[in-house]
Amino acid sequence: MKAIEKQLIDHEGLEKMVYRCPAGKLTVGVGRNLEDKGITEEEALFLLRNDIAECEDDLRSIFTEYDTLDESRKRVLIDMRFNLGPSRFRQFKKLIAAVKEKDFSRAADEMKDSNWYRKVGKRAETLLEMMKMTG
């Protein structure tokens, strides 16, 4: 760590969760003012890539054969896991069972038979078609 990084961390603190600084601004990290400065596209993509990697690690813990799935179905699972979070995704027990059995038509039916499907609209339709596709 560079001396200036240590100094700023000592003075500003390092917070991994959003908080309000003494000036009342939403802040994160080492004094990053989210209200006035926000984040760059590069920073947003860095966070997204980390979140995708976390989703994939979690999906590998659920599906032992995750890495053998085709890219389209991996994308469906990543998208759902990203949207729902780890706990809510795991509530899709019938979907998970269908994917484990490589019964992707049934998996699509299980996706459609959910509150999630009704809430996320076009996103769900797109993912459903990706899950059902052959090949």
pLDDT, tens digit, for every residue of 10-34? 999 999 999 999 999 999 999 999 9
Residues 72 and 25 in one domain: no
Is 116 within the bounds of a domain? yes
Half-sphere exposure (Cβ direction) of 100: Cα atoms closer than 13 Å:
12
Measured distance CA(80)–CA(128) in Å, rounded? 11
Is 55 within the bounds of a domain? no
**The model's pTM:** 0.90
Residues 69 and 127 in one domain: yes
Is 84 within the bounds of a domain? yes
**Cα torsion through 47, 33, 10, 5, rounded to 10:** 60
For residue range 43-64, list pLDDT tens digits in order: 999 999 999 999 999 999 999 9
pLDDT band for position 135 (cuts 50, 70, 90): low
Is 20 within the bounds of a domain? yes
Query: How many domains does the structure of the chain reveal?
Result: 2
**pLDDT average, residue stretch 118-130:** 96
List the structure tokens of 122.
């076009």
For residue range 80-92, list pLDDT tens digits in order: 999 999 999 999 9
